[in-house]
Copies of this chain bind each other. A is one copy, B any other.
Amino acid sequence: MEKTKKYCYGFCLLISIAINILFTINLYVGGGQEISHRPLTWSEKAAVEAEEVAAISCSGHGRAYVDGIVLDGKPVCECHVCYGGTDCSELSPGCATDADGGDPIFMEPFWMQHASDSAVVISGWHRMSYRYADDTMMSKELETYIRKMHSIVKNAVTEGRYVVFGIGSTQLLNAAVYALSSENSSSPSNVLASAPFFPTYKAQTVFFNSENFQFEGDTNSWQSNNSTNNMDVIEFVTSPNNPDGELKDSVIGGKTIYDHAYLWPHFTPITGPSDHDVMIFTLSKLTGHAGTRFGWAIIKDKDIYEKVLSYISFADFGISKDTQLRVLKLLKVAVEGDGQPLFRFSYRKMSDRWDRLTSVMSKSTRFSIQQRHPLHCNFFNETRLPSPAYAWVKCEREEEYDCGAVLEAGKIIGRSGSTFSAEDRYTRLSLIRSQDDFELLLQRLTEFVSLEKGSIETM
């Protein structure tokens, strides 16, 4: 009896010590992969809140956000287009698919896969000042990572160039026009772009209505119609082009703003580093964070650089420090493994979508899409087809001169050609939206093509 008791004591003690050891390991190593150096204090509440919201199920067809509308004490699911219900599980059958806009949600799964490295915690007292320690309004650490990204991708020369941040590339487009424009109001600079072109160039220039510049439309029409001697021109060159993905170069050859929003390996083979006086990039089309409103310009000339800085300072006194911190976190992940994980993911996504789109469209005689030509990509070190962000669709039947209306009748919403100063016979369809949006687009296009009388039979 005593012996049994003794064994029991001994056994229980052993078990108890083992549990202690397990607890101790748990305390110091933590549940995740990371070693917690000390228990969390002030950041834990926010972390718990973020993880709880992230765990809300929206059936894979939507997402709940910590700043979403709150119902019954928790944020509601925000559903993808055509999906509804409290958990986004209900597909509305006759719903029009949205292929308008440039929301780059195709990158979202990458960030969910890299949740731990890309999360950021911002303390209540984080950078309350207008300026950083070096008296600028731009984070030096962030600039370092931007330069690193370009040196990895080899898509732009940054050595000996200035880098300036803006509220998306949107702000920098206008800032660059101001910086390059004439300050002589009697002869404002002529702002031009080659059709089809991104409508913001015109909209911004017209809206700000500055005495320094005026929008003069398409480069080619301007060249043939310009009888004056005012050769003070600022030319926008979008390469790859929005809407059609073409690699472009300056037509006029004077002061030029290179909009390189889409100059990343998932959209186009990188044939060599771009080496121009003013080059503009945006986070939106690199990592997919359109909502973060962050872009940057790489500028050769000190005088132009300082004018862009002045613009930023007068317009809104710099870019939010919270945004800069988050962008830093995202770029740290983006440059990991020399950018291979990020660009492999994004390229695979885009090329898969193009393969499937091409397969459907090849059966059609009613619609055509832009030609793509293989080029050697210095980043992937092989020859590849471009996989542009947008399909530039042409309605081939003579009577179907309003292609947007034709597609809309088939429940596909695109962006009409005239928006880009082209014919309405063209429509832009976005291929960078969520997987749900793409799947619905492909389904609608397939239905369309299968109804064609003259469709090319491949079955």
In the complex, which residues of chain B have a beta carbon less than 8 angstroms from the beta carbon of A185?
209
- From residue 292 to 311 of chain A, which have CB atoms closer than 8 A to chain B? 292-294, 310-311
Of the candidates A54, A67, A133, A210, the one having the most CB atoms from chain B within 10 angstroms of its own CB is A67
Q: Does A170 contact B (CB under 8 A)?
A: yes
The distance in angstroms between the C-alpha atoms of A114 and B54, with both chains bound, is: 24
**With known contacts A13-B12, A20-B19, A322-B323, A128–B67 Cβ distance under 8 A:** no
Q: Does A457 contact B (CB under 8 A)?
A: no
B30 close to A44 (CB less than 8 A): yes
Q: Beta-carbon contacts of A36-62 to B below 8 Å, as 1s and 0s?
A: 111111111111111110100000000
- From residue 118 to 173 of chain A, which have CB atoms closer than 8 A to chain B? 118-133, 139-142, 166-168, 170-171
The segment from A102-110, A229-237, A352-360, A414-422 found at the interface with B is A102-110
- Indicate how many identical chains form the complex: 2
User: Distance in Å from the Cβ of A178 to the closest Cβ of chain B?
Assistant: 8
- From residue 1 to 43 of chain A, which have CB atoms closer than 8 A to chain B? 2, 5-6, 9-10, 12-13, 16-17, 19-20, 23-24, 26-27, 30-32, 34, 36-43
In the complex, which residues of chain B have a beta carbon less than 8 angstroms from the beta carbon of A451?
none
In the complex, which residues of chain B have a beta carbon less than 8 angstroms from the beta carbon of A41?
31-32, 51, 115-116
Interface size on A, residues (CB 8 A): 121
Q: Beta-carbon contacts of A173-203 to B below 8 Å, as 1s and 0s?
A: 0100010000001000000000000001001
The distance in angstroms between the C-alpha atoms of A54 and B124, with both chains bound, is: 11
A207 close to B122 (CB less than 8 A): no
The distance in angstroms between the C-alpha atoms of A47 and B146, with both chains bound, is: 24
In the complex, which residues of chain B have a beta carbon less than 8 angstroms from the beta carbon of A13?
9, 12-13, 16
In the complex, which residues of chain B have a beta carbon less than 8 angstroms from the beta carbon of A45?
32, 34, 116-117, 119
Q: Does A406 contact B (CB under 8 A)?
A: no
Q: Pick the contact of A119: B26, B124, B140, B329 (CB < 8 A).
A: B124
Q: A127 — nearest CB in chain B belongs to which residue?
A: B291
**With known contacts A19-B20, A20-B23, A105–B129 Cβ distance under 8 A:** yes
